[in-house]
Amino acid sequence: MIKRTWFLFSTVLLFAQIITAQEKATISIDAAKTGARIAPTLHGIFFEEISHAGEGGIYAELIQNRGFEENRLPAGTSLVDGFIVPERTPHFSMPNNGVSDWKMEWPVKSQWPAWSMNATGKSVVNLSLTKADPLNSATPQSLQIDIQQADPNGKADVANEGFWGINAISGDEYYFNFYARSDERYMGNITVSLQSSNGNVLATYKFEKTNSKIWKKYSCTLKPVKTDPKAKFVLSFDNTGTVWIDFVSLFPAKTFKDRPNGLRNDLAQYIADLKPAFIRWPGGCFVEGINIQSAPDWRNTIGPVEKRPGTYSPWGYWTSDGFGYDEYLQFCEDIHSSALYVFNAGVSCDFRSGTFIKDEDLRPYIQNALDAIEYAIGPADSKWGKIRVTNGHPKPYPLKYVEVGNEQQGPRYASRYNRFYTAIKDKFPGIQIMASMGIGDVNKYTLDSMRRVDYADEHAYKSAFWSMNNYDHFDKYKRGNYEMYVGEYATNNGVGSGNMIAALSDAVYIFGMERNSDLIKMSSYAPLLVNTNDVDWPVNLINFDASKSFARISYYAIKMLNDNRADVNLSTAATVTHPAVKQPKFGGGIGLSTWDTKTEYKDIEVIQNGNVVYKSDFINQPGDWQLLRGKWNVTSDSSLAQTAEGAQQFALLKNKTFDTYTLKLKGRKIDGYNAFIIPFAVKDSNTFLRAHIGSWVNQNSVFESVTNGYDVADITGQKKLPAKIEKGKWYDIRVEVGIDTVKCYLDDTLLMSYSEPAKVFAISGKDERNGDIILKVVNATSTPVEAGIEISNLYNIASNGELITLSASSPGAENSYETPKKTVPLSEKIDGISSKFKRIFPPYSLSILRIKQH
């Protein structure tokens, strides 16, 4: 039996996973001992224009490239061999005014993306883009349609495919608008229709005798008679002549809260259901832009939609900015969230062009931020407040926070932050100002150079179980004269597309934030939305296509934790008891592997209890090994050499598994980037752990987990190697695999050690509205955990309470389009609660228990 006790304001139950036996735990809550208060602002959301989150996403517009502008190159870039290349100016994080060679593939393959022409029979139609006589300067191009012959028995059509299809729903209304002008020859009609992919007309309207030399707006309502999630939109012409069209828009009448130019209902509802305290917008890297010239400017996103020029997202597509500053602020108001607006600080993205505009050129950027704030909250007679009123919103919007740039850091950024801070506080003392901290932890380096910080914004993208391995991450933070905002967090490595382990890891991460709520006041998961037809980021909270949507399990974990956020932490202690006999954690096969490296291995031995139970003999028994990926050959000195380029090369010792053992071998790097990879705990060729010596281009060592063959996650931090692995030199490698700890040695020096992380966690707090004690427990083990729960200093405990459980039968379980509700929380009333009672928490579960008083 092992006993451990923690006296934080919470309880951490740390112990190795036991495969066969049931864990037992005691959780003791002292209801009279309160800890830090938990901010009502703890859970917000972060919206970024990534993966078509807005355009072709939550913004309900159904026509892609409605303004015919999407073949335009972003400002300040040129097209070179299929790539867009920003002007080569000094990159702020490169030494000696170095210039980045960053470029991005230009995905546009047509002059009029998403549009196509269909002329059948004897019809002859030519399409071209023209800049002549534009509708307005924000939409300088229009589509010129020359109908040279219009066959009454054929078609002269121009179609739009929407965003990977248009979701036409039978009986629903769709508002259609477009602008057209024509030459004197075109005396015909323009018929618009929604059509299914096989050409069946679902809804249609004929604009008769449309001849107008000047731009004219046409509008109608379409009502499909059948549902088709992959419909297309078609304009049909029936006369010869030339017609120019621009700003073609099709909008569902039903939008979230029935707002015109509004949001897609299902997606907005997912967000509203999360009850976010705030919405951060519009990014992310989006704010920074690929270069300074093409970074977003809120002023281009307000007013009539056809006068918004659009922004090129660094994620590789245009947004029409239909979900602009007003629509964002309106959404905040509609769902009772505060707004957190992020603006460009005169810096473009570090991972892209990396421009840092000169300090003397900063003034317009400061003014731009002040104007944005004035637009949102300024009085109706202020310059920008007046424009807000003109745009239909007399009352101020709920803007409460702004952030100076995204993921910038260091003293240079800090001094820039200081300038923004002073200017904003002078004019708007009530606005809270966030400082970005780069990717990763809050760094002293940045913070110490800032005169005053309201909130420091840490971004945290982590691997499976990281939060469990690093449960004390925030406990260790030095408290100071600032609050913390975790502006982007997610467990997104080694978790499939967002599985149960991701959700449990995210839940434990949130436990860590709640426990440290004296410091952490706000957080938001990232990214929020993904159109699964164009995925820019591996794991996202809410997935959708043109007609369907579903939320990852993490969504439900966050929702549960926000719905059941306590007001104040309670002191809790825990005792965990393990079954007497522990099961080995790292049982399985062994292998040899490389990554972008040519390497030889020899003299492999597996030793158990002092006996050599396996010894390699590649010359006489090459068949012992299964050569799964890569190019392996046996050398004259009986080594196995891997000589192919590329990642994840893998050889597996056949038909042998070991539980606890020492693996000894020699390795020699021949060429390439890294050095040695030794798989162990191999379940199959796609699922194993491995010791990676010479990771990060031969600089580090790390234990990694591999799932799905190619999904690699660090399970320990990267540790610097004492020295790079030399080419041509034989090294002694030793991997000691214990019951729940594995150690890796190089030439008898311990490089790294890994112990099975904590898998059971609990915190508790008090809901002051009704006196409920809220107990939250994560059991990330594969077995049920029986907990004895003891509550002191709480009287009149009701025997019945409420239990909400989110659990899955396997760690890899995921929600999907096919089974969107496979893993969602289930609520039940339970009995038998007293000051001392027992409860079994299921495997792979997050449970929230509300203990009530009568």
For 551, residues 6+ apart whose C-beta sits below 8 A from its C-beta are: 270, 541, 542, 543, 815, 820
Backbone angles phi, psi at 492, to 5 degrees: -135, 15
Q: How far is the CB of 406 from ligand AHR (least distance, A)?
A: 5
Of the pair 347, 526, the CB lying nearest ligand AHR is at 526
Q: Which stretch binds ligand AHR (CB under 6 A): 207-215, 283-291, 657-665, 787-795?
A: 283-291
Question: Token pair of 387, please?
Answer: 């424009």
How many residues in the shown chain lie near ligand AHR by CB under 6 A? Answer: 13
C-alpha to C-alpha distance for 10 and 761, rounded to whole angstroms: 9
For 130, residues 6+ apart whose C-beta sits below 8 A from its C-beta are: 141, 142, 144, 244
Q: Which stretch binds ligand AHR (CB under 6 A): 231-239, 263-271, 277-285, 424-432?
A: 277-285
**With binding defined as CB under 6 A, does residue 506 bind ligand AHR?**
no
Q: How far is the CB of 490 from ligand AHR (least distance, A)?
A: 8
**With binding defined as CB under 6 A, does residue 284 bind ligand AHR?**
yes
C-alpha to C-alpha distance for 740 and 303, rounded to whole angstroms: 61
C-alpha to C-alpha distance for 452 and 678, rounded to whole angstroms: 49
Q: Which of 23, 327, 374, 488 binds ligand AHR (CB under 6 A)?
A: 488
Of the pair 162, 527, the CB lying nearest ligand AHR is at 527
End-to-end alpha-carbon separation of the chain, Å? 38
Q: How far is the CB of 277 from ligand AHR (least distance, A)?
A: 19
Q: Which of 36, 73, 104, 439 binds ligand AHR (CB under 6 A)?
A: 439
Of the pair 489, 632, the CB lying nearest ligand AHR is at 489
CA dihedral sign, ordered 684, 687, 692, 698: positive
C-alpha to C-alpha distance for 583 and 26, rounded to whole angstroms: 22
* Helix, strand, coil tally for the chain in percent (to 5): 15, 40, 45
Q: Using CB under 6 A as the criterion, what x/- string covers residues 30-59 for binding ligand AHR?
A: ------------------x-x---------
Q: Which of 285, 302, 431, 456 binds ligand AHR (CB under 6 A)?
A: 285
Of the pair 48, 714, the CB lying nearest ligand AHR is at 48
C-alpha to C-alpha distance for 702 and 713, rounded to whole angstroms: 10
Of the pair 408, 847, the CB lying nearest ligand AHR is at 408
Question: Token pair of 481, please?
Answer: 């004269």
Establish how many alpha carbons lie within 13 A of residue 541's alpha carbon, considering only the half-sphere containing its beta carbon.
25
Q: How far is the CB of 162 from ligand AHR (least distance, A)?
A: 25
Q: Using CB under 6 A as the criterion, what x/- string covers residues 694-733 for binding ligand AHR?
A: ----------------------------------------
**With binding defined as CB under 6 A, does residue 526 bind ligand AHR?**
yes
Beta bridge partner(s), residue 760: 13, 779
Q: How far is the CB of 50 from ligand AHR (least distance, A)?
A: 6
Q: Which stretch binds ligand AHR (CB under 6 A): 226-234, 279-287, 649-657, 709-717?
A: 279-287
Give the position of tokens 């000169």.
Answer: 358
Q: How far is the CB of 626 from ligand AHR (least distance, A)?
A: 39
What amino acid is encoded at 419 in this protein? R
Q: Which stretch binds ligand AHR (CB under 6 A): 280-288, 304-312, 322-330, 693-701?
A: 280-288
Pair 822, 60: CB distance under 8 Å: no
- Buried/exposed code over 710-738 (b: 16+ C-beta within 10 A; e: otherwise): ebbbbbbebbebeeebeeeeebebbbbbb
Of the pair 77, 436, the CB lying nearest ligand AHR is at 436
Of the pair 181, 280, the CB lying nearest ligand AHR is at 280
Of the pair 46, 841, the CB lying nearest ligand AHR is at 46
Q: How far is the CB of 348 from ligand AHR (least distance, A)?
A: 13
Counting beta carbons within 10 angstroms of the beta carbon of residue 29, is it exposed (0 to 12), middle (13 to 18) or buried (19 or more)? Answer: buried
Backbone angles phi, psi at 680, to 5 degrees: -145, 175
Question: Token pair of 31, please?
Answer: 């209801």
Q: Which stretch binds ligand AHR (CB under 6 A): 129-137, 187-195, 281-289, 642-650?
A: 281-289
Q: Within 379-438, which residues bind ligand AHR (CB under 6 A)?
A: 406-407
Of the pair 283, 765, the CB lying nearest ligand AHR is at 283
| Beta strand segments in 578-707, E | 591-594, 597-608, 611-615, 625-629, 632-634, 640-642, 649-653, 661-672, 676-684, 687-694, 700-707
Q: How far is the CB of 496 from ligand AHR (least distance, A)?
A: 18
Of the pair 349, 725, the CB lying nearest ligand AHR is at 349
Alpha helices in 304-460 (DSSP H): 325-334, 363-377, 383-390, 410-427, 444-447
C-alpha to C-alpha distance for 118 and 237, rounded to whole angstroms: 11
User: Do you know the residue count of the chain?
Assistant: 854
Q: Within 537-576, which residues bind ligand AHR (CB under 6 A)?
A: 537
C-alpha to C-alpha distance for 207 and 209, rounded to whole angstroms: 7
Question: Token pair of 575, please?
Answer: 């005792």
Q: How far is the CB of 560 from ligand AHR (least distance, A)?
A: 23
**With binding defined as CB under 6 A, does residue 527 bind ligand AHR?**
yes
* Residue with nearest beta carbon to ligand AHR: 284
Q: How far is the CB of 459 from ligand AHR (least distance, A)?
A: 6
**With binding defined as CB under 6 A, does residue 457 bind ligand AHR?**
no
Of the pair 57, 811, the CB lying nearest ligand AHR is at 57
What amino acid is encoded at 726 in this protein? E
- Tell me if the bond preceding 314 is cis, omega within 30° of 0: no
Q: Which of 67, 252, 283, 801 binds ligand AHR (CB under 6 A)?
A: 283
Of the pair 407, 600, the CB lying nearest ligand AHR is at 407
Q: How far is the CB of 748 from ligand AHR (least distance, A)?
A: 40
Question: Token pair of 475, please?
Answer: 């406990």
Of the pair 403, 600, the CB lying nearest ligand AHR is at 403
Q: Which stretch binds ligand AHR (CB under 6 A): 221-229, 278-286, 390-398, 661-669?
A: 278-286
Site for ligand AHR, rule CB under 6 A: 48, 50, 283-285, 406-407, 439, 459, 488, 526-527, 537
